[in-house]
């Protein structure tokens, strides 16, 4: 590497490689997107420093490999990257004020959505806002407040658009919330979410790619270098491929293609047919050199009315994605009984770590970033 020098040099107290038996090193050189050298001597790479090398002398720092978040929802985080950042609120008045600020710059009648990575137990009131409270923030816009993947709260405008009244039948496996007096409180749970959400315009491809750019940069800022998204539709997968082509992904991505809602093995086996074509090898960057892993297919597909065992299939590569370290396969996701939705909620699995070239986020930023979905689903 001495012919071209290094783009980045870090001198630190300890550089842990996690290679068995290897002692901590004290310097690290990066060229492009690769670690090029790791000597035990903090001055052992001085010869690779050039006029274009960024040098960080951090005598008290520890450098770690990035973390692999094995169950997260990057797609959801990206969809919320442009939404009202209510995860920053610590009280319901703060929560409402953030929505009110967005309403001032949003044309009347257009939807206002919030980020999903918030948890009511982090609010002083330790509860969700109500439709009446959301009306105080704006009664000129439909408002969709999402919390995780199982709970919505909407304002009266949104209830009216959706035609939801006190006489609306409750969908099986869903809840239409009411207050102590039996009046609608704006809460929708599980299979009732679609009563409103089908009215919200889908973002265009450009906005979705920018959302992935923002969300993956937030993952990376907390020390997460690889994410495994556990609920990716074929359409979402096409957006991931487009984002990769655009250079918008700051993390490696492993996508588990969701078979949620499918009721038989034939439908699962048909998923690869619906997948978009792979990026040709000539279009891939050097970071995608690892081949796609191919795990055993998940053994069951469950619908609210049927549980069917899928016959074991032999190992085979279903789709060469071109996404960095991306493995895709038909992934049946067991649903909560009667919900039709995946069990559990997303959440980052690691603490922030130091990333070369970026400052560690504050604890509040880390807990509120798109990368750290602390809701319970």
Q: State pLDDT tens for residues 156-212.
A: 999 999 999 999 999 999 999 999 999 999 999 999 999 999 999 999 999 999 999
CA dihedral 185, 188, 193, 194 (to 10 degrees): -40
**pLDDT band at residue 278, thresholds of 50, 70 and 90?**
low
The CA distance from 26 to 13, in Å, is 6
78: part of which helix (H) or strand (E)? helix 74-79
Res. 217: pLDDT tops 90: yes
Tell me: the pLDDT tens digits for 197-213?
Answer: 999 999 999 999 999 99
Res. 288: pLDDT tops 70: no
Q: Are 237 and 78 in contact (CB under 8 A)?
A: no
Res. 20: pLDDT tops 70: yes
Backbone angles phi, psi at 102, to 5 degrees: -65, -35
pLDDT of residue 289: 25
CA geometry: angle 346, 347, 351, nearest 5 deg:
165
CA geometry: angle 253, 218, 373, nearest 5 deg:
80
Q: Are 196 and 134 in contact (CB under 8 A)?
A: no
Q: How far is CA 24 from CA 42, 44, 102, 110, in A?
A: 11, 14, 48, 55
- Domain coordinates of the chain in residue numbers? 8-65, 69-74+203-360, 83-197
Q: Are 24 and 16 in contact (CB under 8 A)?
A: yes
Res. 53: pLDDT tops 50: yes
Which CATH number, 3.30.460.80, 1.10.490.10, 3.10.310.70, 3.40.50.740, labels domain 83-197?
3.10.310.70
The CA distance from 135 to 172, in Å, is 28
pLDDT of residue 261: 73
Res. 369: pLDDT tops 50: no
**Which residue, among 212, 247, 252, 253, has the nearest Cα to 230 in the 3D structure?**
253
The CA distance from 290 to 368, in Å, is 32
Res. 89: pLDDT tops 60: yes
Q: How far is CA 8 from CA 184, 247, 359, in A?
A: 57, 20, 15
Residues 139-146: what's their mean pLDDT? Answer: 98
Tell me: the pLDDT tens digits for 254-271?
Answer: 999 887 777 888 887 777
């Amino acid at each position: 590497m001495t012919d071209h020098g290094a783009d980045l040099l870090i001198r630190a107290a300890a550089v842990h490689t996690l290679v068995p038996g290897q002692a901590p090193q004290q310097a690290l050189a990066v060229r492009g997107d690769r670690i090029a050298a790791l000597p035990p001597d903090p001055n052992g790479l001085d010869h690779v420093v050039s006029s274009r090398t960024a040098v960080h002398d951090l005598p008290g720092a520890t450098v770690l490999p990035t973390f692999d978040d094995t169950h997260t929802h990057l797609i959801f985080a990206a969809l919320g990257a442009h939404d009202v950042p209510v995860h920053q609120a610590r009280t319901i008045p703060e929560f409402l004020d953030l929505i009110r600020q967005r309403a001032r710059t949003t044309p009347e009648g257009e939807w206002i959505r919030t980020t999903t990575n918030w948890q009511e137990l982090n609010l002083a009131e330790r509860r969700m806002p109500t439709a009446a409270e959301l009306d105080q923030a704006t009664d000129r816009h439909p408002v969709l407040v999402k919390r995780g993947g199982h709970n919505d709260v909407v304002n009266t405008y949104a209830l009216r658009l959706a035609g939801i009244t006190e006489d609306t039948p409750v969908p099986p496996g869903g809840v239409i919330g009411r207050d102590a007096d039996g009046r609608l409180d704006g809460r929708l749970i599980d299979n009732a979410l679609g009563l409103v959400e089908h009215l919200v315009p889908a973002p265009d491809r450009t906005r979705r790619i920018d959302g992935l750019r923002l969300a993956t940069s937030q993952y990376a800022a907390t020390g997460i270098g690889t994410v495994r998204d556990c609920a990716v539709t074929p359409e979402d997968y096409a957006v991931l491929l487009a984002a990769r082509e655009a250079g918008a992904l700051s993390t490696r991505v492993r996508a588990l293609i969701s078979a949620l809602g499918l009721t038989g093995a034939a439908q699962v086996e048909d998923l690869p047919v619906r997948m978009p074509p792979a990026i040709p090898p000539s279009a891939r960057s050097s970071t995608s050199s690892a081949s796609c892993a191919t795990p055993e297919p998940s053994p069951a597909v469950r619908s609210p009315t049927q549980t069917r065992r899928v016959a074991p299939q032999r190992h085979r590569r279903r789709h060469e994605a071109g996404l960095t370290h991306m493995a895709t396969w038909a992934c049946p996701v067991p649903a909560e009984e009667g919900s039709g939705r995946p069990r559990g909620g997303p959440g980052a699995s690691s603490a922030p770590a130091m990333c070369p070239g970026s400052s560690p986020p504050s604890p509040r930023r880390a807990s509120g970033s798109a990368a750290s979905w602390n809701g319970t689903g």
